[in-house]
Amino acid sequence: MSSATGQSTQGSQDDVPSAYPPPPEFAENAVAKAGLYDEAEQDRLAYWAKEARRLQWDTDFTDTLDWTDAPFAKWFVGGKLNVAANCVDRHVDAGNGDRVAIHWVGEPGDTRDITYSDLLTEVSQAANYFTSLGLVAGDRVAVYMPMVPEAIVTILACARLGLPHSVVFAGFSAGALRSRVDDAEAKLVVTTDGQFRRGQPAPLKEAVDSALGTGDDAAKSVEKVLVVRRTGHDPDLNWVDGRDVWWHETVANASDTHAYEAFDAEHPLFLLYTSGTTGKPKGILHTSGGYLTQVSSTFHNVFDHRPESDVFWCGADIGWVTGHSYLVYGPLSNGATEIIYEGTPNSPNEHRHFEIIEKYRVTTYYIAPTLIRTFMKWGREIPDAHDLSSLRLLGSVGEPINPEAWRWYREVLGANSAPIVDTWWQTETGGMMVSPLPGVTATKPGSAMKPLPGISAKIVDDDANEVAQGEQGYLVIDKPWPAMLRGIWRDNDRYKETYWSRFAAQGWYFAGDGARYDSDGALWVLGRIDDVMNISGHRISTSEVESALVNHHGVAEAAVIGAADETTGQGIVAFVILRGSTVDTGDDLIKELKDQVSKDISPIAKPREIYVVPELPKTRSGKIMRRLLKDVAEGRELGDTSTLVDPTVFENIRKKK
Q: Residue 631: in which H helix or E strand, if any?
A: helix 626-633
Our CB check for ligand WTA shows the closer of 517 and 575 to be 517
Our CB check for ligand WTA shows the closer of 195 and 396 to be 396
- Dihedral of CA atoms 409, 415, 418, 420 in degrees, nearest 10, equals 10
Our CB check for ligand WTA shows the closer of 354 and 425 to be 425
If binding means CB under 6 A, how many residues of this protein chain bind ligand WTA? 23
Min. distance of Cβ 272 from ligand WTA in angstroms?
Answer: 9
Min. distance of Cβ 274 from ligand WTA in angstroms?
Answer: 5
Give alpha helix (H) positions in 162-271: 174-184, 205-212, 247-250
- Contact with ligand WTA (CB under 6 A): which of 173, 231, 274, 370? 274
Min. distance of Cβ 543 from ligand WTA in angstroms?
Answer: 17
- Contact with ligand WTA (CB under 6 A): which of 223, 306, 527, 529? 527
- The answer to whether residue 86 forms part of the interface with ligand WTA (CB under 6 A) is no
- Residue 327 per-residue DSSP state: I
Beta-strand relationship, 282-287 and 312-314: unpaired
CA distances 110 to 196, 265, 440, 627, Å, are 11, 39, 40, 48
- Contact with ligand WTA (CB under 6 A): which of 22, 398, 445, 473? 398
CA distance 192 to 214: 19
Our CB check for ligand WTA shows the closer of 423 and 547 to be 423
Min. distance of Cβ 350 from ligand WTA in angstroms?
Answer: 25
CA distance 489 to 250: 31
Q: Residue 577: in which H helix or E strand, if any?
A: strand 569-578
- The answer to whether residue 150 forms part of the interface with ligand WTA (CB under 6 A) is no
Q: Is the dihedral of CA 326, 332, 338, 341 positive or negative?
A: positive
Min. distance of Cβ 528 from ligand WTA in angstroms?
Answer: 5
Our CB check for ligand WTA shows the closer of 224 and 539 to be 539
- The answer to whether residue 502 forms part of the interface with ligand WTA (CB under 6 A) is no
- Contact with ligand WTA (CB under 6 A): which of 146, 164, 400, 554? 400
Our CB check for ligand WTA shows the closer of 289 and 400 to be 400
- The answer to whether residue 155 forms part of the interface with ligand WTA (CB under 6 A) is no
- The answer to whether residue 605 forms part of the interface with ligand WTA (CB under 6 A) is no
- The answer to whether residue 317 forms part of the interface with ligand WTA (CB under 6 A) is no
- The answer to whether residue 291 forms part of the interface with ligand WTA (CB under 6 A) is no
Measured from each CB, the residue nearest to ligand WTA is 427
**Contacts for 81 with CB less than 8 Å, ≥ 6 apart:** 55, 56, 57, 58, 59, 262, 263, 265, 288, 289, 292
Residue 17 identity = P
Min. distance of Cβ 617 from ligand WTA in angstroms?
Answer: 25
- The answer to whether residue 522 forms part of the interface with ligand WTA (CB under 6 A) is no
Our CB check for ligand WTA shows the closer of 174 and 397 to be 397
CA distances 457 to 75, 291, 401, Å, are 19, 18, 20
Min. distance of Cβ 341 from ligand WTA in angstroms?
Answer: 19
Min. distance of Cβ 491 from ligand WTA in angstroms?
Answer: 17
Q: What are the beta bridge partners of residue 574?
A: 560, 610
CA distance 457 to 440: 19
Our CB check for ligand WTA shows the closer of 314 and 525 to be 525
CA distance 522 to 2: 8
Our CB check for ligand WTA shows the closer of 511 and 625 to be 511
- The answer to whether residue 528 forms part of the interface with ligand WTA (CB under 6 A) is yes
Min. distance of Cβ 396 from ligand WTA in angstroms?
Answer: 6
Min. distance of Cβ 231 from ligand WTA in angstroms?
Answer: 28
Chain centroid to CA 121: 28
Q: What are the beta bridge partners of residue 528?
A: 513
- Residue in 557, 555, 556, 572 with CA at minimum distance from that of residue 630: 572
- Contact with ligand WTA (CB under 6 A): which of 327, 413, 421, 525? 525
SS3 582: coil
Our CB check for ligand WTA shows the closer of 477 and 625 to be 477
- The answer to whether residue 542 forms part of the interface with ligand WTA (CB under 6 A) is no
- The answer to whether residue 457 forms part of the interface with ligand WTA (CB under 6 A) is no
* Helix (DSSP H) and strand (DSSP E) numbers for the chain: 22, 30
- The answer to whether residue 534 forms part of the interface with ligand WTA (CB under 6 A) is yes
- Contact with ligand WTA (CB under 6 A): which of 127, 186, 321, 327? 321
Residue 203 identity = P
Phi (first) and psi of residue 210, to 5 degrees: -70, -35
- The answer to whether residue 515 forms part of the interface with ligand WTA (CB under 6 A) is no
Yes or no: say if 486 and 285 are a contact pair by the CB < 8 Å rule. yes
CA distance 59 to 186: 30
Task: Show the binding pattern over residues 346-385: x = contacts ligand WTA (CB under 6 A), - = does not.
Answer: ----------------------------------------
Our CB check for ligand WTA shows the closer of 254 and 535 to be 535
CA distance 33 to 149: 35
- The answer to whether residue 483 forms part of the interface with ligand WTA (CB under 6 A) is no
CB atoms within 10 A of CB 595: 13
The shares of helix, strand and coil residues in the chain, as percent rounded to the nearest 5, are 30, 25, 45
Which conformational region is residue 113 in: left (phi greater than 0), alpha (psi within -120 to 50 degrees), or beta? beta
Could you tell me which stretch among 169-177, 298-306, 393-401, 452-460 binds ligand WTA (CB under 6 A)?
393-401
CA distance 189 to 141: 6
CA distance 226 to 245: 5
Our CB check for ligand WTA shows the closer of 114 and 393 to be 393
Residues of this chain, 418-437, that bind ligand WTA according to CB under 6 A: 422-427
Give alpha helix (H) positions in 2-56: 24-29, 35-42, 44-52
Which residues in this chain contact ligand WTA in the complex, by CB under 6 A?
Answer: 274, 320-322, 397-400, 422-427, 448, 511-513, 525, 527-528, 534, 539
